[in-house]
Structures are given as C-alpha cells and as structure tokens.
Amino acid sequence: MRRRLILLLLSVALGGALSLSAQGPPFGPLQGRGADQPLQGRGAGRGQAPVRDPREQTAGSSIMRGRIVAADTGTPIRRAQVRATSGAQRAHLASTDADGRFEFDDLPAGRWNLTASKAGFVTLRYGQRRPFEAGRPIELADAQILDRVDFALPRGAVITGRVFDEFGDPVAGARVQVLRYQLVQGTRRLMPTGAAGQSDDTGAFRVYGLMPGDYYVSATLRALPVDDPDDVTTYAPTYFPGTGSVTEARAVSLALGQELSGINFALLPVRAVRLSGMALDSTGMPLSNGTVMLSLADQGVGPVAQVGGGTRIGTGGRFSIPNVAPGSYTLTVVNGGGRIGGGGRLGGGGDVELASMALTVGSEDLDGITIVTGRGATLSGTIAAARDATATLAVNGIQVNVQTIGPVRGVPARPGRAGADGSFQLTNLFGQGLVRVNGIPQGWTLKSVTVGDTDVTDTPLLFRPGDEIRGAQILLTNRITALTGTVLTRDGQPTRDYAVVVFPDNETKWTAPSRYIWSTRPDQQGIFKMQGVPASSRYRAVAVDYLEEGEANDPEFLAYVKAVATPFSLGDGESKSLELRLVER
C-alpha cells in the first residue's frame, strides 16, 4: 500500500510534465513545430544547426524530428543532448538549436529509444511518465519521416548541505554522492545516482538534476599522506546524518524540482591503517610486473568501490597501501599483461594471473600479507548452426564472451572471435560465468551451449586457475520466436501506458541473469514486441501500469504478479500475439 501511495504521489507531483500525448511526445502538450516551420534539408533550422555524432554510423533513409522545452515554462532548451539507440548499432547523437529543435536525418529502420538530457534538468527517455521507469521505443520504417518526437524536461531536484570534521570545522574536497536503492540483477542495492558533488572550502556541496524519490547521502574524503606519525587519523565513508552504517542512514525525500537544503553532517574519524605484504606468481616467485588494488567488500552498497587501486608492486614483490580505514575489503593482485583501471576493470593485453583475498581491517597495521596469483582458465570450442536451422550460418567473426557473476565481477575475460570454421578460444577466465554470444547475424539467436554432455546454457561455469575447458559447442538457430500484443484497461479500453513482463512459470529460472525474463514498453502505436524469447511450454505475461527499471528481475515482484499473469507457451520459431489486461499496482 505504501509503495502504491508513493507512486501516486510522484505521478501527481510530476503532473502534466510527465503526461504522454496520443501522438507520442512525452510530458504533456508542447508547442511543437507547426506547418509554417518546416525543416529544409539536412541540418536546417533556425539558429544553431543540430550537432551530430562525428563517429561513423550505419546510414539510413528515415528522419526523426522533435523539440525540447522546459516543462515548467515551455521555453526552448538549447544545446540539450538527444541520444538515439537501436540494438547493437552505435548511438546517434544530436543537440538542440536555439529553438530547442533537433533532427536525426539518416536513421535506419528499426526500433529506436531516445534519451534527452541537459544539466540542471531531469534526464528522460521518450515516453517516460514516472520516475525510474523505462522509456517507450519508437518503431521507424524505411524512408519514414516522424515529426513531433518532443520532450518537456522537468527541472531536477537539488540537495545542498555542508560537510564537517569531528571538531565542527568545514571539510574541503569531500566527495558527496547521492544514492538510491535499485534492483541490480535481481538484488536490491544502494547505487549512486546523479552527478557526484564536491565540498568547497566552506564544506558546502550541491548535487542537482535528481528525479523525485527517496535518497541517501554519503561523503568520503580521499586519504592524504600522514605527515605526523603521532596523528594517523583518517575518515571513514559517512552517511547522513553522520553514521558509518548503511542501516542507520536516514533517507531524504525529494519532490519534483525541489531544492532540499540543510543536509549537514560530520565525517567519522578513524585510525588509519597500513597494509603491506608480498605477492607471488603461480611458480612461487615474487612478482616483478604486477598491480595491487584494495576495494570495499560487497555489502549491498553500490558497485565495487576502489580504495587503494592501481598501486604498482615493488622490488621483490613487496606492496604497501597506506591510510586504510577499518572495514571489510577485497585485496586483488593482477600479474602480467593486465592492469587494473577505474572501478576494478581489467585492461591491457597479454595473458594475466590474478588473485583475490578477503581482508578485515581493524585498528592495527597489517603486515606479512602473502597472496599468490594463478593463471586464468581457458575455454575453447566451436560455433555452429543447430539442426533445426533452415539457412546457412556465417560464423566467421561471431564473438564469444563470458558474463561474469559473483565476487570476480568486473574482471572480464578476453573475448574470442570465431574463425571461418567456427572455432573459438577464450582466455583469462576467473570465477564463474555464463557463456554468451555477440555479433550474431541478423535473424539468428542462441539455441544452446554444451560442454561435453552437459547443457550449460543457463548454468554458470566455474573457472578454476589453470583449467583448460575444451569441446564447448555453441548452437545458433534462425527459428526465432516473436511475441506481439496489445493491452486493455480494466474497462476494456486500449492503452499505451504500460509495461509488459514475460517470465517463466518455473521459479528456479527467476535467478538473474535469466534469458527467460523479458520486459518492454509499447511503441507509439501501443503495440509491444519481443523477438528471440527462448522457447518454453510454460510462460506467463503480465502488463502493469508502472515498472521500475530492473524490477522485472525481482523474484518478489514476479511472485506478486504470478497469480494474475496470463499463461502461454512458445514453441521454436513460433510467432504469437497476446491481448493482456492492465494490472494497476
């Protein structure tokens, strides 16, 4: 009941700014381009010509035009950025001219998603009416001209405050981050949102461009070298109103365009600790070419946060990380051709060795740490057409990769490309992961992945150090399923304001990431479409009036809607049309 009340209040707060007209422009009636204001040719228009993405694009013959205005005043917004994306194609970019107009004049046919953004305003997707929901796709045909793809951007909410130290003095240079709970691969986590702020010399910060909703505010201060050996104080990551515990943090609620001030709190002082030790390679020799990183352990708060990263290992394999606050961490060492970059991503070329270990840091220095790296596993096999395929598959260049899950997430394998004979090999595999395929030719989809006699299409493989997994077989099929449909309201009227979720009846397949859970919103005609849903005899589909992005993978949500969802089956290559009734949440 509380959730529904919150959504209702947010919808009311957003008001006309987030209403969708019958023609498709989001966020209410706009003063769009009239018949007396045509665009003449490529890039024409009054004032500044729209700017486009300079990268090479797949050229098409379709045109999409629109206008962006401020939701509160109706005035044009100049230099707003509009991003158009469709499948695996590179994004097409445009910016608005002095009258708020933009144009894409070389789009290929397909389903396109548009996003509009401008500093100080809420970033919105076309067709988005409520906070944190997905936008609606636009179906574009060859040589089609689509006008009035318009946006009205609401002003973003703002949080301001000050950061102090334990003596009440202002802290300059503290990184202030606003977070909110989001569903990430079926797990609710506290994730950063919006642009991070930084406190000035008075300790003041300002974070802007926020959607209505409930947020948490955190502040961190990068540790500085300790000059006074008798003063080893540093500061722990702190949440408003001044606690180091997420469970004790206080949420702040924002309405549309609200400026919330007075979010003041002091950082928590803690004793700085030094970590030091030795890193060895898989032969037991000290590392001579390695990098060490310290990151906060996964505590359900955001992505992996790098604390002491990118530190080169010194002579004799020795490493030292100073100014570490007490807490739970993961120590990671990479040896060889890789390097650890921002966010714990592994970059560079060549084969690597890797090791990770959990550390609990207290109030005393930790010395004598020994960590031994291991070679990554390899996976090799072939890609071929499945027996039910009705055409010849061009396998050359198809890319095979591993979607990593678990504690080594963020350390990607080097993808392998199939040769003319369909053979491929992946190296630098660590932890667990699902085998997936990119760059599949149009009209084809993944059928199965097997290793020996075991189907591992939806089962993570465990990659132990030095493993060599051979004989993997990836089968693709051109018998692609297609789902389309419409949705009616409770009183039988067609609606375009909905989201559809398709999910398996079998609850064991609700674990993210799942190939069997799909969600979408309708196009400008009110029709939803899904292509490539894996065949299954037991599916359910539900249409809801509001779906937060990522919520389709929430087992609690799926359990909630299962009883009211429509059951159906889907065979190999089958096309099916559904008519669903809207479920109001």
Per-residue pLDDT, averaged over 479-494, amounts to: 96
SS3 assignment, position 475: strand
236 φ, ψ (degrees, to nearest 5): -85, 155
Could you give all domains of the chain from N- to C-terminal order, each with its CATH number? 2-153 (2.60.40.10), 157-271 (2.60.40.1120), 273-374 (2.60.40.1120), 376-477 (2.60.40.10), 482-583 (2.60.40.1120)
Query: How high is the mean pLDDT of the chain?
Result: 84
Per-residue pLDDT reduced to its tens digit, 277-330: 999 998 899 988 888 888 877 655 555 455 555 678 888 899 998 888 888 888
Burial 64-97, CB ≥16 within 10 A → b, else e: bbbbbbbbeeeebbbebbbbbbbeeeeebbbbbb
**Structure tokens that stand for 134 in this block:** 């997905």
Per-residue pLDDT, averaged over 365-392, amounts to: 93
Distance CA 354, CA 530 (A): 40
Per-residue pLDDT, averaged over 467-472, amounts to: 94
Task: Assess whether pLDDT exceeds 80 at residue 461.
Answer: yes
- Please provide the DSSP assignment of 175-218 as one string: EEEEEEEEEETTEEEEEEEEEEEE--TTSEEEEEEEPSEEEEEE
Q: What is the 3-state secondary structure (H, E, C) of 397-415?
A: CCEEEEEEECCCCCCCCEC
Alpha helices (H) in 33-104, listed in sequence order: none
Query: 346 and 340 in contact (C-beta within 8 Å)?
Result: yes
In percent, the amount of the chain with pLDDT more than 90 equals: 61
Task: Assess whether pLDDT exceeds 70 at residue 37.
Answer: no
Task: Assess whether pLDDT exceeds 90 at residue 188.
Answer: no
**Structure tokens that stand for 91 in this block:** 């994004």
Query: Who wins on pLDDT, 179 or 187?
Result: 179
The confidence band for 23, taking pLDDT boundaries of 50, 70 and 90, is very low
403 φ, ψ (degrees, to nearest 5): -85, 105
517 φ, ψ (degrees, to nearest 5): -110, 120
pLDDT on residue 301: 59
Per-residue pLDDT reduced to its tens digit, 52-102: 443 345 678 899 999 999 999 999 999 999 999 998 778 999 999 999 999
Distance CA 498, CA 520 (A): 9
Query: Who wins on pLDDT, 36 or 185?
Result: 185
Point out the least confidently predicted range of 232-241, 411-420, 511-520. 411-420
If we measure between CA atoms, which residue out of 323, 221, 227, 307 comes closest to residue 271?
323
Which residue bears the tokens 């997994």?
Answer: 469
The confidence band for 503, taking pLDDT boundaries of 50, 70 and 90, is very high
The confidence band for 223, taking pLDDT boundaries of 50, 70 and 90, is low
Query: Who wins on pLDDT, 119 or 90?
Result: 119
Query: Who wins on pLDDT, 18 or 407?
Result: 407
Query: Who wins on pLDDT, 581 or 348?
Result: 581
Distance CA 501, CA 495 (A): 16
The confidence band for 477, taking pLDDT boundaries of 50, 70 and 90, is very high
Per-residue pLDDT reduced to its tens digit, 349-365: 467 888 888 899 888 89
114 φ, ψ (degrees, to nearest 5): -115, 140
